[in-house]
Amino acid sequence: MTVSEENKVIARTALNAFEGKPKVFKYWDDNNISSVDILSCEDRNFEGILSYATLGLSDFSIGYEGNRIPLRAELVGASDFECFPNIINSKFECSLGTIFKGVIEMYLPDRHMKHILFLSPFLWENKLKTIKFEKKQVAWLMAIPISEEEKNYADKNGLKALEELFDENQINIFDLERTSVI
């Protein structure tokens, strides 16, 4: 299957943000039915950290079809581990502030971080902005690992309150072994 021009633009945008030497691999769901390409790269901005971006996830609906042009998403993340969720088959509605429950626990059950919270990709400043194509808009969402306690706190007090705690505690969002702020 050939890579679409849109997905080439998406790949170049991610690579421009990460500024490293890229590798692209296909990531399959657990049943080997659906796949998405993942660009990984040792990020020049963060020593010892791999940055990741999905390539082609935006070819699938995330449940937001407003403004006459469908809104789609590509996911980015940075970590010292190689695990990325494939949300194609789950029909997961992915948007800013959404928590993908249990996804880390599914792959790494012994880790303290259990879920992924999707936020604006602040690590890469203004390099990952929404891309407008003729038939879709593609927004970037950054995956941040959170604990069960942090998820419960966000559920009770709101996402903004959790983000404020993260900022106050200067959490290391790359570390799946970090201590929960709650």
Evaluate whether residue 65 is within a structural domain.
Answer: yes
The answer, yes or no, to whether residue 36 has pLDDT greater than 60, is yes
Q: What is the number of domains present in the chain?
A: 1
Query: Does any domain span residue 126?
Result: yes
Name residue 80's amino acid.
D
Return all residues near 12 (Cβ < 8 A) that are at least 6 apart.
Answer: none
Tens digits of residue pLDDT in 165-182:
999 999 988 888 899 999
Q: Does residue 182 form part of some domain?
A: no
pLDDT of residue 128: 95
Structure confidence by residue, pLDDT tens digits, 81-121: 555 545 555 556 678 899 988 888 888 889 889 999 999 99
Residue 114 inside a domain? The answer is yes
> What is the span of the domain harbouring residue 134?
5-169
Asked if pLDDT for residue 45 goes beyond 80, the answer is no
In a domain, 179, yes or no: no
Residue 107: inside a domain, yes or no? yes
| Mean pLDDT in residue range 64-78 | 82
The pLDDT of residue 67 is 64
d(CA 103, CA 108): 9
- CB burial class (10 A; 0-12, 13-18, 19+) of residue 135? exposed
In this prediction the pTM is 0.85
Contact status, residue 49 vs residue 65, Cβ threshold 8 Å: no
Quote the pLDDT of residue 85: 44
